[in-house]
Amino acid sequence: MSVAVAQSRPVVRPSVEVRIWPKFEERVTGKDMPFSVEELAIIEQLVTEDDKSVDNLASSKQQRLLVESLYSSWKGPGGPPFLADTNIGVFHTLKAPPLVPDMFLSLGVRVAQDWWQKRHRSYFLREFGKPPEVVIEIVSNREGEEDGSKLLDYAQMGIRYYVIFDPVEELGQGVLRLYELHQGNYVAMKQRWLPAVTWRPAWRLPPSRCR
């Protein structure tokens, strides 16, 4: 069934400062950016999981499908690394609460082997060196601010693609909306694919940066 997508036009939001993260090729060849002792102490005090997440059966299944389909299509150890997950805190800064998208995809990264360490339990932009490329929010009610504050928050974080999936059209703007970041604001996309999300050999990590 064809789904109408909003016309390509800027989403008017207050001007925000957007951090320009280095390209992956530049990041993996540069120096690591370890947390300072003071920052590690702050991380130890952060709430990275609260065990209070409550969701519905439909949203939970959709989240699993989004992640499992990506990992099931991975070709094996020679393929490019990526991280896809659901309901994981994404920390833009240590001074503010994280955003917790229904699903995100980050290309060219791996989870640390010692993932029980506090700094490895969540997605810290400082730790991974970049924001995720894609965030997907699944609408189940009108309380989630999917087309409200989250448009601004994800833009400020530097998420390139933001997708709103509204299966029962709670927000009345169509089932599927795709946005791409342009100069700090999201612009609605006409196409149904994400051009910059492709598998490239350049994303393979050198051994010193395996996560």
Return d(Cα 49, Cα 91) in angstroms, integer. 12
Phi-psi region at 209: left, alpha or beta (left = phi > 0; alpha = psi -120 to 50): alpha
Q: What's the predicted TM-score (pTM) here?
A: 0.71
The string of DSSP codes covering 171-191 is: SSS-SEEEEEEETTEEEE-SS
Task: For tokens 């990992």, name the residue.
Answer: 71
At residue 38, the 3 state secondary structure works out as: helix
79 neighbors 108 (Cβ within 8 angstroms): no
pLDDT tens, residue by residue, 120-165: 778 988 888 899 999 999 998 888 889 999 999 999 999 999 999 9
Q: Which residues of the chain have pLDDT under 70?
A: 1-37, 39-55, 74-79, 115-116, 118-119, 199-211
